[in-house]
């Protein structure tokens, strides 16, 4: 039996021609039908050159299995999340490679109510079914319907703020020539109709499969200077940039400085707890002290969950959390089917700036000073399991607490590290934070890197 290497921990990503093609996409569509037994599936795709053909292949696999397909066209991943719940479908599939290189594509799959699929059980079942390709086709084929949900989706996004609270703000938005532009335009159209006094500077706004300004991945340092310079050039209040399928958004303050996603989690937790007193907030284990302190100070409950959207969403549902955030710029909302959105966060930040009269830079300055971080450091290591064990053994006698909840977390009182293997890439990721000692970051970082024996 063949092996499909495009299946990762909780989604599908593969190199075109080698790991993913239309035939494999067809089998994945049929496998979704066979393993999940849906009656209807929402289907969308990003603007990549191959997405339309891969989407058509997925649709055909579903149709041949007797499943009705609701095609919402070119869209972002969160529009599929919204539509799956909004249209009462049994599952949703977004064809997207998000921020991966131009010669890649992939898929994100959710169940009824946009519930994430468990990596160990449901995604494994789909993979095995697609690998066997032993399908029982339906005698009556499914139907394909085009559905336009964008206006309803935009209305839902706008409901997360009170437009009358917004002050006149000028915001730079960089869609990266991905799929964010059209959805953003509908959202801002509806905001304007409600009297929101916002103005925008649009950058790389039109979807373009050739990505003339590079793959939309604002997390990469080399992709940040153009956005930063444009923020300064246009004298905006803050800047926002999205990845290719806009389920993540990244912030720049008015000086053009890139804002670490860790501190955005704290700001959004603050906003969520201001609106929902005593609520539960989910966070990932990579860096935790800033989020935990903010949540505790506001009377909320902070709960740690494994890194990755499938785990974060499952924890959100289990604990009834109002908000969940990862430092990688995934932000999850209970009232958005517990799903991540790249559009809700910038609106919440705009509302926070408006109501406090404080710039984004000033909102996070004290938090950065109190809990400085290394930023995520990524390494390719031949034997990551052995590397994590080496670090743990060397530092165990100094640690006040050691966890294996998600990789290796070690708390030394005045500093903390998390070292984990990526769920989607062949990398080991290292994060270090301290209690107010920015100068010590370099020392701790050098010591751990030396132990990794790179």
Catalytic residue ranges = 98
CB-count exposure of residue 449 (10 Å: 0-12, 13-18, 19+): middle
Nearest to 232 by CA among 201, 206, 211, 263: 201
In DSSP notation, 11-70 reads SEEEEBTTTB-HHHHHHHHHHHHHHH--SEEEEEE-SSTTHHHHHHHHHHHHHHTT-EEE
Nearest to 107 by CA among 149, 158, 60, 48: 48
How far is it between the farthest Cα atoms of the chain? 68
Residues with Cβ within 8 Å of 28's Cβ and at least 6 positions away in sequence, in order, are 12, 58, 61, 107, 126, 130
To the nearest 10°, report the CA torsion of 110, 116, 117, 120.
150
Instruction: Enumerate the β-bridge partners of residue 92.
Output: 42, 110
For residues 163 and 78, give the distance between their C-alpha atoms in angstroms, rounded to a whole number: 22
Nearest to 370 by CA among 442, 292, 284: 292
Total Cβ atoms within 10 A of residue 403: 14
**Helical (H) or strand (E) element with 241:** strand 238-242
DSSP 341: -
């Amino acid at each position: 039996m063949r092996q499909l290497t495009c299946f990762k921990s909780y989604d599908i990503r593969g190199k075109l021609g080698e790991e993913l093609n239309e035939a494999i996409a067809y089998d994945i569509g049929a496998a979704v039908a066979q393993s999940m037994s849906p009656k209807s599936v929402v289907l969308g795709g990003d603007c990549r050159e191959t997405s339309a053909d891969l989407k058509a292949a997925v649709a055909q696999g579903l149709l041949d299995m007797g499943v009705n397909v609701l095609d919402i066209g070119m869209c972002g991943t969160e529009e599929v999340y919204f539509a799956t719940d909004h249209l009462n479908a049994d599952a949703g599939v977004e064809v997207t490679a998000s921020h991966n290189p131009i010669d890649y594509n992939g898929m994100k799959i959710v169940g009824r109510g946009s519930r994430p699929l468990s990596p160990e059980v449901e995604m494994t079942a789909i993979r095995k079914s697609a690998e066997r390709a032993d399908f029982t086709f339906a005698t009556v084929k499914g139907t394909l319907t085009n559905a336009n949900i964008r206006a309803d989706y935009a209305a839902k996004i706008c409901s997360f703020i009170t437009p009358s609270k917004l002050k006149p703000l000028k915001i730079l938005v960089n869609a990266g020539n991905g799929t964010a532009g059209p959805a953003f335009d509908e959202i801002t159209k509806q905001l304007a109709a409600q009297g929101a006094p916002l103005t925008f500077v649009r950058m790389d706004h039109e979807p373009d499969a050739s990505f003339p300004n590079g793959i939309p991945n604002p997390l990469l340092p080399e992709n940040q200077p153009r956005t930063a310079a444009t923020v300064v050039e246009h004298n905006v209040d803050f800047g926002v940039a999205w990845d290719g399928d806009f389920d993540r958004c990244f912030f720049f303050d008015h000086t053009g400085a890139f804002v670490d996603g860790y501190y955005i989690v704290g700001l959004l937790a603050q906003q969520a707890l201001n609106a929902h007193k005593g609520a539960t907030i989910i966070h990932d284990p990579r860096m935790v002290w800033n989020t935990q302190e903010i949540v505790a100070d506001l009377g909320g409950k902070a709960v740690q969950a494994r890194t990755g959207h499938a785990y974060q969403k499952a924890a959100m549902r289990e604990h009834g959390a109002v908000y969940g955030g990862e430092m990688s710029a995934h932000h999850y909302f209970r009232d958005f089917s517990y799903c991540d959105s790249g559009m809700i966060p910038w609106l919440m930040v705009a509302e926070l700036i408006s109501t406090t009269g404080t710039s984004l830079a000033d909102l996070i300055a004290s938090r950065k000073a109190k809990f400085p971080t290394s930023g995520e450091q990524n390494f390719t290591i031949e034997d990551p399991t052995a590397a994590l064990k080496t670090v743990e053994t060397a530092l165990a006698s100094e640690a006040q607490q050691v966890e294996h909840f998600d990789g290796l977390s070690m708390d030394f009182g005045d500093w903390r590290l998390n070292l984990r293997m990526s769920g989607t890439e062949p990398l080991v990721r290292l994060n270090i934070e301290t209690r107010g000692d920015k100068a010590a970051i370099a020392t701790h970082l050098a010591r751990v890197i030396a132990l990794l024996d790179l």
